[in-house]
A and B are shown apart, each in its own frame.
Chain A
Amino acid sequence: MNEAAPARAAGVHNERPEFVREGELTKEFGVVEKPLTVAERLFNNGALRKVVLLLIIGAIWEWYARHLNNPLLVPTLSSTLQAFWEAILTGAMPARVATSVRLLFQGYGVGLLLAFVFTTLAITTRIGNDLLELLTSMFNPLPAIALLPLALIWFGLGDKSIIFVVVHSVLWAVALNTHSGFRSVSTTMRMVGRNYGLGGLRLVFKVLIPAAFPSILTGLKIGWAFAWRTLIAAELVYGAASGQGGLGWFIYESKNQLEIPSVFAGLFAVILIGLFVENVIFRGIETRTVRRWGMQT
Chain B
Amino acid sequence: MNSMSPSQAPLLQVSGVTLQYKTRDHLVTATYRVSFDVYPSDRFVLLGPSGCGKSTLLKAVGGYMSPTEGTLKLKGQTIRKPGPDRCMVFQEFDQLLPWKTVKKNVMFGLEASGKLRGRAAEEKAMQYIEKVNLAKFADSYPHMLSGGMKQRVAIARAMAMEPDILLMDEPFAALDALTRRKMQDELLQLWADTRFTVLFVTHSIPEAVLIGNRILMLSPHPGQVKAELNSDGSDPADSQGKKLSERIHDMLFSEQVEEMGPLGALPDARLVDRAGHHAVGGPLS
User: Of B3-11, B137-145, B199-207, B216-224, which stretch is located at the interface?
Assistant: B137-145
Which residue of B has the minimal Cβ distance to A209? Answer: B99
Among the listed B86, B97, B282, which residue makes an inter-chain contact with A207, where contact means beta carbons less than 8 Å apart? B97
Which among B112, B113, B282 is the interface contact of A1 at CB below 8 angstroms? B282
- Interface positions of A from 179 to 218, Cβ below 8 Å from B: 186, 188-189, 191-198, 202, 206-207, 210-211, 213
Indicate whether B76 reaches chain A with its CB closer than 8 angstroms: no
A202: chain B residues within 8 A (beta carbon): 112
| Known contacts A194-B82, A198-B112, A188 near B94 by CB under 8 Å | yes
Q: A188-B92, A196-B84, A211-B97 are in contact. List 14 more A-B contacts (CB 8 A).
A: A1-B282, A8-B281, A186-B92, A188-B90, A191-B82, A191-B88, A192-B95, A195-B62, A195-B84, A195-B109, A197-B112, A207-B97, A211-B99, A294-B98
A-B contact pairs, 18 of them (CB 8 A): A4-B282, A186-B94, A189-B94, A191-B62, A191-B88, A192-B88, A194-B64, A195-B82, A197-B84, A197-B114, A198-B112, A206-B108, A207-B97, A211-B99, A292-B141, A294-B141, A294-B143, A295-B98
Q: Is B165 an interface residue (CB 8 A)?
A: no
Inter-chain contact A189/B84, CB cutoff 8 Å: no
Cβ 8 A contact of B281, one of A4, A186, A196, A294: A4
Known: A4-B281, A191-B64, A294-B143. A289 touches B88 (CB 8 A): no
Q: Is A293 an interface residue, CB under 8 A from the partner?
A: yes
User: How many A residues face the partner with a CB closer than 8 A?
Assistant: 27
Evaluate whether A196 and B108 lie within 8 angstroms (CB atoms) in the complex, with A210-B97, A294-B141, A294-B142 already known: yes
Report Cα–Cα, A191/B96, bound state, in Å.
11
- Contacting residues, chain B, for A2 (C-beta < 8 A): 281
Interface of B is mostly: loop
A231 to chain B, nearest CB (A): 32
The total of Cβ contacts below 8 Å across the A-B interface reads: 75
Contact B281 A289 (CB under 8 A): no
B99 A289 Cβ-Cβ under 8 A: yes
- Interface residues of chain A, those whose CB is within 8 Å of chain B, are 1-2, 4-5, 8, 186, 188-189, 191-198, 202, 206-207, 210-211, 213, 289, 292-295
B143 pairs with A189, CB closer than 8 A: no
Interface centre among A197, A207, A295 (most CB of B within 10 A): A197
B278 beta carbon closer than 8 Å to chain A? yes
Chain A to chain B: the 8 pairs with minimum beta-carbon distance, closest first: A294-B143, A196-B112, A194-B82, A197-B113, A210-B99, A293-B98, A196-B109, A293-B99
- Chain A residues whose C-beta falls within 8 Å of the C-beta of B99 in the assembled complex: 210-211, 213, 289, 293, 295
Interface residue B83 (Cβ < 8 Å from any Cβ of A): yes
The yes or no answer to B38 lying at the interface (CB within 8 A) is no
> Is residue B45 contacting chain A, with contact meaning CB distance below 8 A?
no
Point out the residues of chain B lying under 8 angstroms from A210, CB to CB.
Answer: 97, 99
A210 to B98 Cα, complex, angstroms:
9
B19, CB-defined interface residue at 8 Å: no
Residues of A within 8 A of B83 (CB): 195, 197
Q: Does B102 contact A (CB under 8 A)?
A: no
A294–B142 Cα gap in the complex (Å)? Answer: 8
**Residues of A contacting B60 with CB < 8 Å?**
none
Cβ of B112: which chain A residues have Cβ within 8 Å of it?
193, 196-198, 202, 206
State the Cβ distance, B143 to closest chain A Cβ, in Å: 3
Q: What per-residue 1/0 map shows which CB atoms of B47-60 lie under 8 Å from chain A?
A: 00000000000000
Q: Are B88 and A195 in contact (CB under 8 A)?
A: yes
Residues of chain B within 8 A of A289, CB atoms compared: 99
Which residues in B have their C-beta under 8 angstroms from that of A188? 90, 92, 94-95
Contact A1 B97 (CB under 8 A): no
> Do A192 and B84 touch across chains, with their CB atoms under 8 A apart?
no
Q: With both chains docked as a complex, state the minimum distance between the C-beta of A226 and any C-beta of chain B, in angstroms.
A: 27
Tell me the smallest distance from the CB of B248 to a CB of chain A, in Å. 16
- C-alpha gap A294/B100 in the complex (Å): 11
Task: List chain A residues, Cβ under 8 A from B109.
Answer: 195-196
Q: Tell me if B14 is interfacial: C-beta within 8 Å of chain A.
A: no
Query: Within the assembled complex, what's the spacing in Å between the Cα atoms of A190 and B247?
Result: 39
With most chain B CB atoms within 10 A of its CB, the pick from A196, A198, A206, A210 is A196
User: What separation, in Å, do the CA atoms of A152 and B113 have in the docked complex?
Assistant: 51
Within 8 A of A (CB), among B70-107: 82-84, 86-88, 90, 92, 94-95, 97-99
